[in-house]
Structure 1
Amino acid sequence: MAKRFPIRPSHPERNCWGCDRFCAANDLICGNGSERTQHPVELFGDDWLEACTDEADRVLAPPGQPAPDPQR
Structure 2
Amino acid sequence: MAKRFPLHPKHPERNCWGCDHYCAADAMRCGNGSNRTQHPAELLGEDWYECGDWGLDVAEGATSIEPAAARA
Question: Normalised by the size of structure 1, how large is the TM-score?
Answer: 0.69
Deviations 1:14-55 (A, max 9, x none): 0000000000000011111210000000000011000133x7
**Structure with the larger RCO, 1 or 2 (CA within 8 Å, 6+ apart):** 2
Matches within 5 A, 1:1-72: 2-53=2-53
Say which SS state the counterpart of residue 27 (structure 1) adopts: coil
Q: Percent identity?
A: 65
**Structure with more strand by fraction:** 2
- Where in structure 1 do 4 or more consecutive aligned residues deviate above 4 Å? none
Q: CA RMSD in A?
A: 1.8
TM-score normalised by the chain length of structure 2: 0.69
Q: Which amino acid aligns with 1:36?
A: R
More helix by share: 1
Instruction: For structure 1, list consecutive stretches of 5 or more residues without a partner in the other structure.
Output: 57-72
